[in-house]
Amino acid sequence: MRYRPELDLAIRNLSLSTRRFEKIGIVGRTGAGKSSLTYALMRMVEPASGYIRIDGVDISTVDLQDLRTQISVIPQDPVLFEGTIRDNLDPAHEYSDEQVWSAIHAGQLSHLLDTPTEVFVSEDIADEDTFDDDDLDDDFQKGPWIEGVGLNKWVDYGGSNFSIGQRQLISLCRALLWRRKIVILDEATASMDAKTDGIMQDVIRREFEECTVLTIAHRLNTVMDSDRIIVMDQGQVVEFDTPQNLLLNSASHFSQLVRSKAT
């Protein structure tokens, strides 16, 4: 796989298959190709040659929309949109309030929704036909302020009223609600402290038991209890085995990574 015709391959000679519901950790130094692997899976970049299959079906033959509804990604820096928490978790309004709350509780997000965000709602602005730029100052003086809590907790543009760690939690809750068959965590807990990261790993293991989970992590503890670990180096998979087997071999790339993180 390459990003542009004139560039070198970002991933090469890759051949592996994962089992149903397997929990896979993906590690490797910066630029090794970990994220590129997930872009290929989402068909954000098409393979230069070869194929990727999900449940035996070559993904290049699958409608892009259908492909992406099989996969949830919890990215490193999730971007949220302006609206309520509910809108952010369930943009298509496909789920009941009960289901949304259940995902919020499973993702341990509820404590973030207790404190209200003050939201300005202007009656004139809400009615676009009568909205006039010149009225803006007046509107801001007149308009009522409402306080959003719970599902109505307000999310500012880009999610700027939440920290990156909190945005990752919201993104996790979204994935918990959607329950897609493949979940990709791309450094998803990187901005959380080690304790919260540990709690989140438990949530992920328990709640995504019936999903295939691919976890990209710099923090090796995050992937230590994966079923198997992919070690990438310069665009290639150099190791793919259980963490126990990789650690048994002190010369493995994985053991070297563990030693380099410990120093």
The footprint of ligand ATP (CB under 6 A) covers: 3, 7, 10, 28, 30-36
Our CB check for ligand ATP shows the closer of 77 and 138 to be 77
Our CB check for ligand ATP shows the closer of 207 and 233 to be 233
DSSP 3-state assignment of 8? coil
Our CB check for ligand ATP shows the closer of 7 and 92 to be 7
Rounded to a whole number of angstroms, the minimum distance from the CB of residue 102 to ligand ATP is 32
Return d(Cα 77, Cα 80) in angstroms, integer.
10
Rounded to a whole number of angstroms, the minimum distance from the CB of residue 227 to ligand ATP is 21
Return d(Cα 52, Cα 26) in angstroms, integer.
17
Rounded to a whole number of angstroms, the minimum distance from the CB of residue 44 to ligand ATP is 9
Interhelix angle 194-207/164-178, nearest 10 degrees = 10
Q: In what order do the strands lie in the sheet with 23-28?
A: 71-74, 182-186, 212-216, 23-28, 228-233, 236-241
User: What does residue 112 show for φ and ψ, rounded to 5 degrees?
Assistant: -80, -15
Our CB check for ligand ATP shows the closer of 15 and 30 to be 30
CA 116 to chain centre: 26
Rounded to a whole number of angstroms, the minimum distance from the CB of residue 92 to ligand ATP is 28
Rounded to a whole number of angstroms, the minimum distance from the CB of residue 250 to ligand ATP is 24
User: What does residue 157 show for φ and ψ, rounded to 5 degrees?
Assistant: -50, 125
Our CB check for ligand ATP shows the closer of 200 and 232 to be 232
